[in-house]
Amino acid sequence: MNPPAGTRARPRRLTARMRLTLSYTIFTVAAGALALAVIYVAMKYIPNYPLTSSNPRYRSDAPSRQEILESLLAAGGYALALMTAVGLVGGWFIAGRVLRPLQDLTGAARRAAAGALGHRVALSGPRDEFTELADAFDEMLERLQHSFEAQQRFAANASHELRTPLAVTRTMLQVAAADPGGQDWGRLVARLQDTNQRGIEVSEALLQLADLDQSPPELAPTDLAAAAREALATVRDEAAAHATTVTASLDPAPTTGNAVLLRQAALNLLHNALRHNHPTGGTVTLTTGPHPRHPDRVRLTVTNTGAPLTPETVATLTEPFLRGRGRTAATDPARRGHGLGLTIVSAVTTAHHGLLTLTPGPGGGLHVTLDLPALPRPR
């Protein structure tokens, strides 16, 4: 069978099973030959006393030492030949039994290479090197399967999100082309601009996610409170338009991070808190400062009011293109997002070795905590 493309061609040699068989046989024969040599040397240096009977009329037929040595060598030769045959047969079966887990691993690897990531080795037996290898391989397959499935969902959802504004644009242009005189061109242009802006936002968010996945960001000493303060200034007008009260308590939270990405994470959290809130009269609370229980971490929290959320729904909010109401965007353009805000926040948190926690509020809404490693204090 030809080697797969991209693999290095290797010369054909003995299989591992044959090499183990020969190793067992050589060791067995060598051990037998050594034992025979020791006996032979010991017999050779024993004094050669003549064996005689105490009765002079009885003639002794006892063999001499030389005859014993010759008989020993002959018997030892037959024994070594038998040990060689037994070693070859027994070593072949023992090697096959020892290497059987590797055959299972090879079969699972070939299935995985063919795309069957749902197969598991599930090697049974006592804990040893082979079972540890099989468990590690199964764990790798499980992670690959989850990653592959998430990638497939992401690609399908991204295609859907990008196709929607393009389809809407095409429909509006077709209607305008069919009846040019009956169009409100100002309204049509505004709708086209809004649809085009939506496609741009989705594309930029996807590019940002791709950049975070491909290369780690440059980190430097910064203050999480400063990033939150800049994000808060950006959403003031949006909060006023939604009649939402924003309360902030920004204590210093020095950390090591990328100031631009941390500002984007805080901005996404605030946008999410404003857009998934009560229609009017909602509240948003933003805080930064040291972690209340771990002095080696700092924390940013965003809490908002809104409709009640179940823990099951909250657990899926960081998945791409999932919104609080599912995969359907809001009809109000001012409250409509692209479903990637919390996904980007999660990616930024991972890039900063932090922890993002989302919990439903007791009376509705969402409570988000973003924990990052604190900047080490100078000694």
Average pLDDT of 176-204? 81
Q: What is the per-residue pLDDT across 234-279, written as a single tens digit (0 to 9) for each?
A: 898 889 888 999 999 999 999 999 888 898 899 889 989 998 899 8
C-beta separation of 358 from 317 below 8 A: yes
Band the pLDDT of 24: cuts 50, 70, 90. Answer: confident
- Is there a single domain that holds both residue 225 and residue 345? yes
Average pLDDT of 86-107? 79
- Is there a single domain that holds both residue 235 and residue 343? yes
Does residue 318 lie in a domain region? yes
Give the CA-trace dihedral at 41, 43, 44, 47, to 10 degrees. Answer: 140
Does residue 134 lie in a domain region? no
- Is there a single domain that holds both residue 261 and residue 291? yes
- Is there a single domain that holds both residue 172 and residue 285? no
- The pLDDT of residue 287 is above 90: yes
Average pLDDT, the chain: 79
- The pLDDT of residue 329 is above 60: no
- Is there a single domain that holds both residue 271 and residue 196? no
C-beta separation of 282 from 305 below 8 A: yes
Q: What is the per-residue pLDDT across 351-373, written as a single tens digit (0 to 9) for each?
A: 899 999 999 999 899 999 999 99
Does residue 280 lie in a domain region? yes
The CATH number given to whatever domain includes residue 308 is: 3.30.565.10
- Is there a single domain that holds both residue 39 and residue 83? yes
- Is there a single domain that holds both residue 102 and residue 207? no
User: Which of 168, 197, 214 is at the close of a domain?
Assistant: 214
Does residue 139 lie in a domain region? no
State percent of the chain over pLDDT 70: 78
Structural domain that includes position 172: 150-177+185-214
Q: What is the per-residue pLDDT across 33-51, written as a single tens digit (0 to 9) for each?
A: 888 787 777 777 666 655 5
Dihedrals φ, ψ of 124, to 5°?
Answer: -95, 170
Averaging pLDDT over each range in 211-220, 296-305, 316-325, 330-339, which range is the top one?
296-305
Please choose, from the candidates 208, 302, 301, 300, the residue with its C-alpha nearest in 3D space to the C-alpha of residue 255.
300
- Is there a single domain that holds both residue 166 and residue 235? no
- Is there a single domain that holds both residue 107 and residue 169? no
Q: What is the per-residue pLDDT across 39-95, written as a single tens digit (0 to 9) for each?
A: 777 777 666 655 555 556 655 566 666 777 777 778 878 888 888 888 888 888 887
Sole residue written with tokens 């096959």: 96
Q: Quote the pLDDT of residue 26.
A: 85
Q: How many domains does the chain have?
A: 3
- Is there a single domain that holds both residue 168 and residue 286? no
Burial class (CB in 10 A: 0-12, 13-18, 19+), 29: middle
- Is there a single domain that holds both residue 159 and residue 290? no
pTM of the model: 0.55
- Is there a single domain that holds both residue 165 and residue 225? no
Does residue 68 lie in a domain region? yes
Q: Quote the pLDDT of residue 328.
A: 40
